[in-house]
Every structure is written in C-alpha cells, then in structure tokens.
Chain A
C-alpha cells in the first residue's frame, strides 16, 4: 500500500510552501517521524516528518518548487496507516504554535493531546481521598429512564441529491431578483446540480457570456455584501449600475478616445433665449433651456461632418444616414441616454418639446425601449452640473460625444477691446479610428459657428 504525502498546513496565513530540500530520495527507507523534506514558507522553514514508516516511491515535487498547502509532494509505500487518518487522505500534521499564529484572529487556546482528564471522575492526575468525588455516593436519584442507545452521529445534511433544479435557496432568489437574472441559464455546482449562491455571484462576475465552471468543488473567495473587518461597506451593484459599468469599460477599452475643446461666445444665444422664453413657455408649456439650441447646432454640424455621425466597422466606416441624437440624463438609478430620433427634422421648438418629454419620462421611469435605442451621437449637458470642462466617454459604438459646459460671463478681447461676453466650452471626445483632429476640429468649429450665429431674431419654430 502506498500513501500520498501532502504539503502540510502550518499556519493561518500560510497558503503555500517551497520545497527546500528532499532529505529522502526514491528507494530510501524512512522511519515514522523521520524528517522527509525541508519546507520553506514565508514564516518558517521546517522539516516535515514522515507520518509513516516505509520506503519512498517517488517525489512529486522538485526542490525549489512552490506549491499550495495540501498539494501532493511524495508517495511512500508503507504497511501501516498513519495515526488518525485514512490512508487515502493522509496528510501530515505539523503543530506550529508560535504566539503570532495562535493569536490570530482571536485568542484561541489549543487542545492538548493524550492528557488524562482530571477531577473526581477523570483519572489519576489529581489525588483524591475518594476517587469518585464526595457527591457520587450521596444517594442522589438514580436514573428512572432507560438509557437508550445514542442516535447515530449528527449527520443532519441530506446527502441525496434533490431531484430537479427548481428549488432555489433564499440567497439565490434574492440575487436573481436583484440582478434580473434568469437562473435557468446558470449551471449549478451544488448538490444535484443546485445553483448555489456562489454560482450566481460567479455568473455575475464573469458576465452572462461566459459559461460558469462546472466544477463540483465547493466555491470560495467571493465577497458577501459586508466586509468582515468592518472597514468596508460593500454595496451590491444595481442592474443599471452594472450596465453602465460594462458600457463604459467597453467604450474605453475598445475606442481610442481623443479630446478637443472650443470656447463659444453664446451672448447672442443668451439674448435669443431671453427674448423668446416667456412666449414659448406660455404658449408651448415646458421650459425653454439652451439645450434645444445646442441640439440644433450639433445636428446641423453632424450633417456637414457625416463621419462624426458614424460607427467604426473594423474594415469600414459605417455612416448613419439618420441623425438620432442621444441626450445624457441623470435618472434616479443612474445615467440614461434617451434618443431624439431624426433630430434633424425638428425645429428648435420641436427639439425643446422632444427633449423635455424624454427628460421627464427618464426621471419618471416611463421610457420605452425605442426611446433609448438607435442613437448615433450623444450630447451631454455637463454644464448643468457646474462643470467647466469635461472628458466624456463615448457612448459605444458612436463616433463621438459632445458636452456643453457652464455658461459664464468672461472678459474677452474683441477688436483689441475688453468685452464681457457669455462664454461656454464645448468638449468633444471622438473615436480617433474614424476621425482625425482635422475633422474633429472642423466639426467643433461648425457647432461653434452655428451657436454664435444665434441671436435675437432667429426663429425657433
């Protein structure tokens, strides 16, 4: 018979060890407890004794090799079985009781082996006048119940697989609901193919495209929602947050972003809006912001620079014939980008109505799927949040994204004189695979010129 020697567990935080030196070679006889191999860990270097007497058959690890604790390192032929363990699973136990280890994570006493219990009934370690204690024979009640044979050892887990996979644990149900997952798409690794909590967490981590591992080994290392040491609070990610995260990662990793910023004199626009605002809000309802004017300018510029209204197609550039302008809106659960379809076919007043409608429905969660699909370019009014300059991430797979920044009065030099003008920055991120700086600047300048061309007298209808 032969047994496999495993790299022993030597302490709480030690997870691997390096084979320092083999003290026995194949063919060597080894006595029980005779040092077999020298193991180096980050805490200690030690000799590992053989748990059995026998002869070394083969070494399974080379000197210098680093292995996880529990890894098989040698095979030893033996006639005996190691103490307290089944031959198949023989692992040497090395007691390491350095103070650091027995202190972590809580102060733990350790159990002495082969010590005779003491006390009146325990044995010889304490000399007693009466070996069974003074109370044992004082006539206390004898048992009236018959002592029954004890029940079998408490093995309270069902080991038979449950039939079917429809039974979900409360933890799995909760996770499925929180993340809107169809559990039937997850392969279970639990008993009888049950989908376990860790299966779900792994599925969420790896993304739906990946097939979860089919290993039946128990899973580990996945965090719950609370950190153990109390130093961190872990918030479970909402489906919206997860989608945003995935979209952002995809955009940033796939699209080579380039950035450009221009400064726009919107004094004329400010004057225009002031002049028509009251009338518009009275007759049309809803507010008249700067947004529809910017949309108008962007949409017209996109018509002039069709490669900004496009998608990278690998071996081709795909121009979008329609201009569907996405508007980034801060909704309760996070960013959402509803789309004004065929935005080039609306007047400024029409765009105002459309934008107001989308923003309102985004906030009240009444957007339809159509409302958020098919965008070809995105506009983000970061200025509304007080931003002065931004570096936005492109709404994948579009060719660019434009932000409108805070409008503020600045001292500008015009014809060698200082004038106070209402100024606004436009920040563009663009896919450098599709456009170079020349096109991007041309596009930005076109938007700029159209915005600067607005003034009292421009019709919004």
Chain B
C-alpha cells in the first residue's frame, strides 16, 4: 500500500515550501552529504539556474561542483555520463526539456543501456533534471512534454512529482540511485504548488504511487501539474455524488502497477490524465495494463484525458488553453465515465 505517505512524517516539523524550494533543498542536502554529487548545466552557476533551482549553490559549493556549461546538451550529457562511469554522481540539468534532443544518444543510446550491456559492471548514477510542460505561455520550445520517450526506454527511471514533498523526497532518492534517473519537474508547479515539507531528513521510495484522494466511483491516474487539476475536478464532482479516487503516479518508471490495478478493481472505472500527447503515452500503457490485469473488474471504457496529438505546444493563448487539460475538462470526462 502506498497511500498516506503523509503518515510517515506525522509529528515532524513541517514548513510550507514551493516545488522549486524543495528541489533546491534536495540538491543542497545531497551535495553536502556526498562530495561525489555535482551539478552541471546552462546558467546553473552564477545565475543560479533560470528557475533558480541552484540559486546560491555556487557560492556554497564552488565552481567545481556547480558547473556552468556551454549551450551544448550533447556535451553536458556526455560529460555527465563519463563522470558517472568513473563513480561520480552528476546532476546534469537540461534547462528546458525541449532542449534534450541533442543529447538523446548520450541518454537513451548510452546511459540507459550501459548497466545492462556491461552485465552490471558499469553503473550510471546520474540524475537528469528537466523542467518540462506547458500552460505557461512558453510556446513551441519551452513547453514540451517529453516523458513518453523516456517512459518507453528500459534502463531509465523516470520520476515526475507534483508536490514539494514528493519532489524533495524523490529527488534525494534519485541522487542516491545507481541508475540514470530522468527527473521531470513541471515548470508550472515550481511556484504555483506549495505544500508541507518536513524540516528533517527524509527520502521517498522510487516506484511507489500515492493515492492523493480516496474515492469509490472512479479512479483517475495522473502526475505532475495535471494531478492538481484532477484533485480540483474531484472536489467539484464530490458535490455531485461522484467519489473520485486520485492516484498520483509520482514515478513513471518503474510504474506502480499494483496501486493502479488495486484502485481500478475497487472502482471499476479508470481515467488517465496527462498533458503529454495522447497517442502512445503513459495513459495508453496504463489503459493496456488495466485491460490486461483488471479486465473482469472494468465497468466502463478506460478514458484518457490528455493533450491532443499536435506537434508541440501552441503559442497562441487560445490554442494553448485548448491544448491543456484543465479541471473543467477533466471533470467533464470523469462525469461521463461515472454515469456510464
């Protein structure tokens, strides 16, 4: 069972933090704990990162551990990969996930396959941080959802937290993990989502989903920004007698199939919500899993409420609004499913 991770921190001193603060804290703590951890990326040093994820870190840890890199993602990823081969624990930052493509060979072609290809002799302990996602008027090259490509690739772990608590606990676990971890931070959650974070040390298990809201009518599975829209929709539907269970994946790979299937068996109805394009996405995989492992419990079609299949996030406000899943769109989809 994965619900109520909050219970583990009962009695802790809690402070309300933003996602970006949680990310910064996790990096800071891990760098203090382990001298092998270092950050490399564009503008991460003096500038402190364009979202200020590494603000103040170059003063604290110096230019040798907070390394400003040229605008060359293939190099950043390649250098990080080499360092990881030699036992370092690099945290390369891809300034926007939209820029990751030049480094795909280093990431998917090499990092994901090395441990397997060397029969475990060479491990790749690196965390690739990527701000991703839209809804921020960022347009074509600052809004992309890239998770499906990594979700599809065995050998990578993929984490996409939606709250400060999860972001910090999972980033710390990712840094300590000996596998390449793609750590996806939704840009819109950075300062818009706030939540309680314990003052003391904690980590969260990679690969465990979290039930953010218990319900009995419909299961909705999501992650990242859209998790919050799902929670809003669930709140709205509660007034109509529709009791929505909201499952936050938190980790995309390895996927917590057990929690998803258990919830589907309980409610009999499943919707998956994500901002990434609908076709071949995380939702498609979860729909297939439900058909495979909970077929006899399904009491309605599996619904995907996702970004449409357009090449990238539109720049025009009206079009971006049309693209993004919203609480209203999610509520409408869940309402239809509930009465099915």
A-B complex is real: yes
A residues in contact (CB < 8 Å) with B = 6, 9, 12, 69-70, 91, 99, 102-112, 115, 117-123, 125-126, 128, 133-136, 138, 140, 143, 145, 147-159, 169-174, 190-191, 194, 196-198, 216-226, 228-230
Contact bitstring B151-177, A, C-beta under 8 A = 1, else 0: 000000000001111100000000000
Bound-state CA distance A140–B96 (Å) is 13
Chain A's closest residue to B209 (CB) is A106
Residue B6 is within 8 A (CB to CB) of chain A in the complex:
yes
Asked if residues A150 and B323 are in contact (CB atoms below 8 Å), the reply is yes
Q: Which of B142, B163, B165, B309 contacts A136 (CB 8 A)?
A: B142
Residue B14 is within 8 A (CB to CB) of chain A in the complex:
yes
Asked if residues B304 and A99 are in contact (CB atoms below 8 Å), the reply is no
Asked if residues A110 and B265 are in contact (CB atoms below 8 Å), the reply is no
Residue B241 is within 8 A (CB to CB) of chain A in the complex:
yes
Chain A's closest residue to B164 (CB) is A109
Contacts of B256 in A (CB 8 A): none
Q: Which of B137, B231, B303 contacts A156 (CB 8 A)?
A: B303
For the complex with contacts A117-B136, A153-B329, A223-B216, 4 further pairs of A-B residues with Cβ separation under 8 Å are A6-B239, A109-B195, A147-B319, A218-B240
Contacts of B329 in A (CB 8 A): 153-155
Asked if residues A120 and B310 are in contact (CB atoms below 8 Å), the reply is no
Contacts of B306 in A (CB 8 A): 154
Asked if residues A133 and B308 are in contact (CB atoms below 8 Å), the reply is no
Bound-state CA distance A136–B315 (Å) is 14
Q: In the complex, how many angstroms separate the beta carbon of B70 from the nearest chain A beta carbon? A: 10
Asked if residues A218 and B228 are in contact (CB atoms below 8 Å), the reply is no
Q: A105-B212, A112-B194 are in contact. Are A157 and B239 (CB under 8 A)?
A: no
Residue B288 is within 8 A (CB to CB) of chain A in the complex:
no
Chain A's closest residue to B95 (CB) is A135
Q: In the complex, how many angstroms separate the beta carbon of A225 from the nearest chain B beta carbon? A: 7
Residue B254 is within 8 A (CB to CB) of chain A in the complex:
no
Asked if residues A156 and B305 are in contact (CB atoms below 8 Å), the reply is yes
Asked if residues B314 and A150 are in contact (CB atoms below 8 Å), the reply is yes
A-B contact pairs, 14 of them (CB 8 A): A9-B239, A70-B239, A107-B9, A107-B196, A110-B193, A110-B194, A111-B193, A134-B50, A134-B71, A136-B141, A154-B306, A155-B329, A174-B296, A224-B297
Contacts of B190 in A (CB 8 A): 118-119
B residues in contact (CB < 8 Å) with A = 1, 3-6, 9, 14, 19, 42-43, 50-52, 71, 95-96, 99, 131, 135-142, 162-166, 187-196, 210-214, 216-217, 228, 231-232, 235, 238-243, 248, 262, 265-268, 278, 295-301, 303-306, 308-312, 314, 319, 322-323, 325, 329, 332-333, 336-340
Asked if residues B303 and A218 are in contact (CB atoms below 8 Å), the reply is no
Asked if residues A121 and B309 are in contact (CB atoms below 8 Å), the reply is no
The 4 A-B pairs with the shortest beta carbon distances in the complex, nearest first, are: A109-B195, A157-B336, A109-B163, A151-B308
Asked if residues A104 and B4 are in contact (CB atoms below 8 Å), the reply is yes
Asked if residues A174 and B297 are in contact (CB atoms below 8 Å), the reply is yes
Contacts of B52 in A (CB 8 A): 126
Bound-state CA distance A135–B99 (Å) is 9
Chain A's closest residue to B297 (CB) is A171
Most B CB atoms within 10 A — which of A112, A159, A171, A191?
Answer: A171
Asked if residues A156 and B304 are in contact (CB atoms below 8 Å), the reply is yes
Contacts of A69 in B (CB 8 A): 238-239
Bound-state CA distance A172–B5 (Å) is 34
Most B CB atoms within 10 A — which of A99, A122, A138, A230?
Answer: A122
Q: A107-B165, A140-B99 are in contact. Are A120 and B142 (CB under 8 A)?
A: yes
Contacts of A169 in B (CB 8 A): 268, 298-300
Q: A128-B50, A157-B340, A222-B216 are in contact. Are A106 and B297 (CB under 8 A)?
A: no
Bound-state CA distance A156–B270 (Å) is 12
Bound-state CA distance A158–B278 (Å) is 17
Bound-state CA distance A46–B51 (Å) is 38
Contacts of A6 in B (CB 8 A): 239
Asked if residues B239 and A122 are in contact (CB atoms below 8 Å), the reply is no
Most A CB atoms within 10 A — which of B242, B299, B325?
Answer: B299
Q: In the complex, how many angstroms separate the beta carbon of A160 from the nearest chain B beta carbon? A: 11
Contacts of B298 in A (CB 8 A): 169-171
Asked if residues B138 and A121 are in contact (CB atoms below 8 Å), the reply is yes
Chain A's closest residue to B187 (CB) is A119
Contacts of A224 in B (CB 8 A): 265-268, 297
Chain B's closest residue to A157 (CB) is B336
Asked if residues B333 and A154 are in contact (CB atoms below 8 Å), the reply is yes
Bound-state CA distance A218–B340 (Å) is 8
Q: In the complex, how many angstroms separate the beta carbon of B138 from the nearest chain A beta carbon? A: 4
Asked if residues A226 and B266 are in contact (CB atoms below 8 Å), the reply is yes
Bound-state CA distance A333–B1 (Å) is 31
Bound-state CA distance A110–B227 (Å) is 10
Asked if residues B211 and A138 are in contact (CB atoms below 8 Å), the reply is no
Asked if residues B311 and A159 are in contact (CB atoms below 8 Å), the reply is no
Contacts of B296 in A (CB 8 A): 170-171, 173-174
Q: In the complex, how many angstroms separate the beta carbon of A77 from the nearest chain B beta carbon? A: 23
Q: Which of A106, A118, A119, A221 contacts B212 (CB 8 A)?
A: A106
Asked if residues B194 and A140 are in contact (CB atoms below 8 Å), the reply is no
Asked if residues A220 and B239 are in contact (CB atoms below 8 Å), the reply is no
Bound-state CA distance A96–B235 (Å) is 13
Q: A134-B71, A140-B99 are in contact. Are A228 and B214 (CB under 8 A)?
A: yes
Q: Which of A105, A112, A128 contacts B191 (CB 8 A)?
A: A112
Asked if residues A220 and B216 are in contact (CB atoms below 8 Å), the reply is yes
Q: A157-B337, A217-B241, A218-B242 are in contact. Are A117 and B325 (CB under 8 A)?
A: no
Contacts of A222 in B (CB 8 A): 216
Q: A120-B142, A157-B333 are in contact. Are A109 and B314 (CB under 8 A)?
A: no
Contacts of A145 in B (CB 8 A): 311
Asked if residues A120 and B340 are in contact (CB atoms below 8 Å), the reply is no
Q: In the complex, how many angstroms separate the beta carbon of B96 from the nearest chain A beta carbon? A: 7
Asked if residues A106 and B211 are in contact (CB atoms below 8 Å), the reply is yes
Asked if residues B42 and A135 are in contact (CB atoms below 8 Å), the reply is yes
Chain B's closest residue to A172 (CB) is B299
Asked if residues B299 and A197 are in contact (CB atoms below 8 Å), the reply is yes
Q: In the complex, how many angstroms separate the beta carbon of A212 from the nearest chain B beta carbon? A: 15
Q: A70-B239, A151-B308 are in contact. Are A125 and B191 (CB under 8 A)?
A: yes
Q: In the complex, how many angstroms separate the beta carbon of B252 from the nearest chain A beta carbon? A: 17
Contacts of A150 in B (CB 8 A): 308, 310, 314, 319, 322-323
Contacts of A217 in B (CB 8 A): 241
Asked if residues B217 and A220 are in contact (CB atoms below 8 Å), the reply is yes
Bound-state CA distance A118–B96 (Å) is 13
Asked if residues A111 and B232 are in contact (CB atoms below 8 Å), the reply is yes
Bound-state CA distance A80–B190 (Å) is 34
Contacts of A126 in B (CB 8 A): 50-52
Most A CB atoms within 10 A — which of B50, B96, B189, B212?
Answer: B50
Bound-state CA distance A99–B11 (Å) is 12
Q: Which of B99, B210, B265, B336 contacts A225 (CB 8 A)?
A: B265
Asked if residues A147 and B232 are in contact (CB atoms below 8 Å), the reply is no
Q: Which of B139, B217, B297 contacts A121 (CB 8 A)?
A: B139
Q: A134-B42, A229-B3 are in contact. Are A105 and B214 (CB under 8 A)?
A: yes
Contacts of B295 in A (CB 8 A): 170
Chain B's closest residue to A132 (CB) is B142
